[in-house]
Amino acid sequence: MTAPKLHPAQAKPRRRKTLHPEDVDKVGEALLTLTKELWVVKDRQMLLEHILKRHQIDVAAEIENLVPDAALEARLKIEREALIRKLMTDLVGES
């Protein structure tokens, strides 16, 4: 017999770690790092799409439908992990 499904009102809240006052600065640093990284990517993406469109190459739809090959997927993974490492470094306060 399977256990009855719990609805949100019946479920016990999960115990979560709370932020200590000294962690707030680390979270702020990580947020700023993420914001800077996001802006660089967004800025470059907008510039690239603008330049390509100026040359009659509209890539927006292609980007939406692209399925990366193995080499590109590996490169994306490396970049994703580097960003995560930067954020985690800010969160734990290590340099």
Closest CA to 86 of 2, 29, 25: 29
- Smallest CA-to-CA distance from 46 within 60, 33, 57, 62 is with 60
Q: What is the pLDDT of residue 10?
A: 57
- Residue 2 placed within a domain: no
Q: Which phi-psi region, left, alpha or beta, contains residue 66 (left: φ > 0; alpha: ψ -120 to 50)? A: beta
Residue 76 has pLDDT above 60, yes or no: yes
> How confident is the prediction for the chain on average, in pLDDT?
82
Contacts 24+ apart (CB under 8 A), 18-23: 23/91
Average pLDDT over residues 38-54: 93
Into how many domains does the chain fold?
1
Please give the residue range of the domain that contains residue 36. Answer: 22-92
Is 51 part of any domain?
yes
Cα gap 5→15, rounded to integer Å: 20
Quick one: 87 exposed, middle or buried, by C-beta within 10 A (0-12, 13-18, 19+)? middle
pLDDT digits (tens, 9 = 90+) for 12-29: 655 656 777 878 888 888
Q: What is the mean pLDDT of residues 63-87?
A: 91
**Which one is predicted more confidently, 85 or 4?**
85
User: Domain for residue 14, yes or no?
Assistant: no
User: What is residue 90's predicted lDDT score, i.e. its pLDDT?
Assistant: 74
